[in-house]
A and B are shown apart, each in its own frame.
Chain A
């Protein structure tokens, strides 16, 4: 080996150690500072029971001991060993899982058990850092991961063994004789299953990747043999390290698995939480930092999620199985009814890896553009003096109006968001109080104050940017931001599908009354949005809407009766909103697609038909690729509109009354409204608007990169 490669290895090792040290430090801090949480008492008691068995050398006791039998015992046994080092105390009381966390649990027991979890969590970071130091670094900082490996939970061990399962599998693809690493992979999969079933999701990802890989190698028969062997070994290991199921394997496994099905559909705490299906995304966009003041140093959770979204493609090309892991886990968490925050630890490892890909891409691009000699392309047509001179009379009147009416409001918004301006201080604000405070604050003459929410002062006060953090925490923790994004994506997606579908139907040859159909389908777009919302209200409002009355008069067996009572369920509320939004929005997409279809050359379709392509193939390989660039600007425009959609959400907001299920624009309006529930929180509304603007800037920039959209958005 050459000298430079030694140096590279040395740097990499130091980096890995550094990242691991950070992970350990942050987790140790969390171990000491986090309060006792739900479930910690349960697993600590489980650990105590095992510790007792070990102390008394009652090995046969393992066959009948597993406190909280719904989870297999391996992680709890590990806690049992850790408790041997501290003096014995009486068993913690047996309480239902819903009991409020008992802060008086024996301190030294909690600390030692948590420390064992934190060490396992740090080993996970260490292993991930071997794969990718940046990914390891991100996992080290991820606050939800820190929280749940540093509490007495069952997450730390299966997260670690799950990662080893995947790493060993990846290693096996690189080797000629695969048996060694595949055996390790199977063993650790068995250990994962014996700690917490949920983490076995990695096995699905591995099998998919393995299947695809063997297909590429034309080696499917060997895949089946190896995969079956791998699976049997994993099951055997699971059986070996789970002594609790030895006396009655089928019965006890069935009992523990069925518990989860019943728990997810019937447990009062799951029902009470009433989480929407997209709740995992809410966990991924927030941080527990505001739950536990001081326990975490930084909270990059949202940043990691965003970076990961951009890094998926690169990670797929590098190592597909991690992306599959992420996808399988997200899919499962979305459909599984129980949605506790700790479940996202099943995917924070591949999430960190994907985010790391984005970071290394950005770093690479930055260094490239830094090292490249800067060429100034001097365009001859640019800035000819005469043209500039000529443009002045055209620009001047418009610019004055534009600056006065749209730029000034924007600047004023920023100013207000730095104060506590509200409807009580309105007289002072109108008399120049906002500018007085801003001037004083920015020149340092006025010290920023930190008033309580909601603002109620009689005079405007300078607050600086101090209100941004709580507001941002609020919209992420309560899931408002995630709802806004989910709403935008789903509603634009549905509108595009129905709009393009309708356009394609009307595009076929020999349709009768084409004009008539088209005029009919345009109606929803012509009707003012307020009226459209009102129309849907006469159907869905309770108790006087059409649907409620039908259920009242004809019982629950009529179609769509399941939608009745949608107000109490976030999922069904979203569905209702999507139906109304689809009705209002699809005609626009239909018009865009119709106009696009008109521009497609007909001979291409004839050629494809002559070559024997069927309708499905023509659509997939000819129509869609030709059409999508033509309707992309319409999709972007619709996306912006949906993100800011107001009237529909405001009117339906009266019906469901859940402020978390609304757009930021709607929320901002209601905070601003002096006669609304917030009594005119002008400053908070302004800060919310600025946040919206920043999000949209990000949206524009990333879309600009993707599609040159700013030149393409040409129509309504």
Chain B
């Protein structure tokens, strides 16, 4: 293709700058609050930058963000629940995804349809029955209960995504291994699984994110402040009418986003743009 002209180049950069401005605007908006030491509660005047630049709110958050629960406690709860849920969804879904990608059996089409359907259900649709079942099991208000709930939310999506990954593994490779005398299981372990690892990692990441940023269902199930997650604590501060200074809310939000943002930026180089959409063309 020809190299674009100067005017085209200028237009391109102006457009990119505008989009960048749009992306940065809300991040800047919350940062200006998070770093402002002068805020006693809500901001009362218009400012582009913090009035008194300080990092104290961040230290306060790390010390005691929500009621009497420590930050490490909140983070630990968040990590336990979302990591466990992600792992659970992958393990429970793995064999099913492989079976649907690899074998032809009666009822496969119906199964696929049901799976797509459950992947499209709003999470709340699972909540009523889980509420009852977990109450009966007496684990409704525990972290284990929440872990199970989040794993179930993530499972249909994970199955769907991993099935596609297994499907894009070249048939010839699997058949070659099979002809060489490898069993189904060995083929799976040595051929299919390694090739599908990137997609499985993506599924795991997204399952993790679902649990990490979920707050609403969490509040239906958890009632002890010991078991509250990070996202739940932010929502609770907001819903209580935001009596806390906004510097505290802002810094809590930034601290909570930081790990995920870092993971994404690191992954973007290696995984996202190379693998996430790599097989889109063949199957679409």
Q: Quick one: which of A528, A640, A692 contacts B257, CB cutoff 8 A?
A: A528
Q: Check B268 against A518 for contact (C-beta < 8 Å).
A: yes
Chain B CB within 8 A of A550 CB: yes
Q: Check A672 against B46 for contact (C-beta < 8 Å).
A: no
Q: Check B280 against A668 for contact (C-beta < 8 Å).
A: no
Q: Quick one: which of B25, B102, B256 contacts A528, CB cutoff 8 A?
A: B256
Q: What's the minimum C-beta distance from B21 to chain A, rounded to whole angstroms?
A: 11
Q: Quick one: which of A397, A506, A605, A630 contacts B284, CB cutoff 8 A?
A: A630
Chain B interface, number of residues (Cβ within 8 angstroms)? 110
Chain A CB within 8 A of B60 CB: no
In the complex, chain B residues whose CB is within 8 Å of the CB of A713: 116, 160, 164
Annotate B182-226 by CB proximity to A: 1 below 8 A, 0 otherwise: 001000000000000000001100100100110111011000000
Annotate B143-186 by CB proximity to A: 1 below 8 A, 0 otherwise: 00000000110011001110010011000000000000000100
Q: What's the minimum C-beta distance from A154 to chain B, rounded to whole angstroms?
A: 44
Q: Check B152 against A406 for contact (C-beta < 8 Å).
A: yes
Q: What's the minimum C-beta distance from B121 to chain A, rounded to whole angstroms?
A: 6
Q: Check B284 against A502 for contact (C-beta < 8 Å).
A: no
A528-B27 CB under 8 A given contacts A412-B132, A518-B273? no
**From B256, which residue of chain A is reached at the shortest CB distance?**
A531
A700-B268 CB under 8 A given contacts A509-B1, A531-B234? no
Q: Check A409 against B125 for contact (C-beta < 8 Å).
A: yes
Q: Quick one: which of A430, A710, A714 contacts B116, CB cutoff 8 A?
A: A710
A539-B160 CB under 8 A given contacts A553-B45, A654-B238? no
In the complex, chain A residues whose CB is within 8 Å of the CB of B94: 398
Q: Check A401 against B92 for contact (C-beta < 8 Å).
A: yes
In the complex, chain B residues whose CB is within 8 Å of the CB of A331: none
Annotate B1-40 by CB proximity to A: 1 below 8 A, 0 otherwise: 1111000110010011001101111110110010000000
Chain A CB within 8 A of B235 CB: yes
**Which size bracket describes the interface of A in this complex?**
35 or more
Q: Quick one: which of A390, A580, A609 contacts B1, CB cutoff 8 A?
A: A609
A505-B12 CB under 8 A given contacts A401-B155, A530-B235, A664-B122? yes
List residues of A (548-570) whose CB comes within 8 Å of B's CBs: 549-550, 552-554
Q: How far is A397 from B95 in the complex, measured between Cα atoms in Å?
A: 7
Q: B51-59, B67-75, B258-266: which one contacts chain A?
A: B258-266
Q: How far is A697 from B130 in the complex, measured between Cα atoms in Å?
A: 23
Chain B CB within 8 A of A276 CB: no
A394-B238 CB under 8 A given contacts A520-B20, A602-B1, A646-B123? no
Annotate A375-411 by CB proximity to B: 1 below 8 A, 0 otherwise: 0000001111001101100110111011001111110
**From A650, which residue of chain B is reached at the shortest CB distance?**
B216
**From A501, which residue of chain B is reached at the shortest CB distance?**
B15
Q: Check A535 against B126 for contact (C-beta < 8 Å).
A: no
Q: What's the minimum C-beta distance from A534 to chain B, rounded to whole angstroms?
A: 5
Q: How far is A387 from B20 in the complex, measured between Cα atoms in Å?
A: 53
Chain B CB within 8 A of A595 CB: yes
A646-B3 CB under 8 A given contacts A522-B264, A550-B46? no
Q: How far is A406 from B19 in the complex, measured between Cα atoms in Å?
A: 40
In the complex, chain A residues whose CB is within 8 Å of the CB of B250: 538
Q: Check B126 against A409 for contact (C-beta < 8 Å).
A: yes
Q: A25-33, A335-343, A366-374, A681-689: which one contacts chain B?
A: A681-689
Q: Check A674 against B129 for contact (C-beta < 8 Å).
A: no
List residues of A (660-716) whose CB comes within 8 Å of B's CBs: 663-665, 668-669, 672-674, 682, 685-686, 689, 692-693, 696-697, 699-700, 710-716
Q: Check A521 against B23 for contact (C-beta < 8 Å).
A: yes
**From B88, which residue of chain A is reached at the shortest CB distance?**
A401
Chain B CB within 8 A of A278 CB: no
Q: Check B281 against A630 for contact (C-beta < 8 Å).
A: yes
In the complex, chain A residues whose CB is within 8 Å of the CB of B231: 528, 530
A530-B33 CB under 8 A given contacts A509-B3, A520-B23, A549-B46? no
Annotate B83-123 by CB proximity to A: 1 below 8 A, 0 otherwise: 00000000011111111001111100000111111111111
Q: Check B19 against A498 for contact (C-beta < 8 Å).
A: yes
In the complex, chain B residues whose CB is within 8 Å of the CB of A519: 265, 268
In the complex, chain B residues whose CB is within 8 Å of the CB of A634: 280
A609-B124 CB under 8 A given contacts A714-B283, A715-B164? no
Chain B CB within 8 A of A536 CB: yes
Nearest 5 A-B pairs (CB), nearest first?
A: A398-B96, A595-B277, A528-B213, A665-B122, A391-B103
6 contacts between A and B (CB under 8 A): A394-B98, A395-B96, A430-B136, A534-B238, A538-B33, A646-B123
Instruction: List residues of B whose CB falls within 8 A of some A CB.
Output: 1-4, 8-9, 12, 15-16, 19-20, 22-27, 29-30, 33, 42-46, 92-99, 102-106, 112-130, 132, 135-136, 151-152, 155-156, 159-161, 164, 167-168, 184, 202-203, 206, 209, 212-213, 215-217, 219-220, 231, 234-235, 238-239, 246, 249-250, 253, 256-257, 260-261, 263-265, 268-269, 272-273, 276-281, 283-284
Given contacts A394-B184, A682-B128, A715-B202, 8 further A-B contacts (CB under 8 A): A508-B8, A510-B3, A518-B268, A519-B265, A531-B213, A553-B46, A672-B128, A685-B128
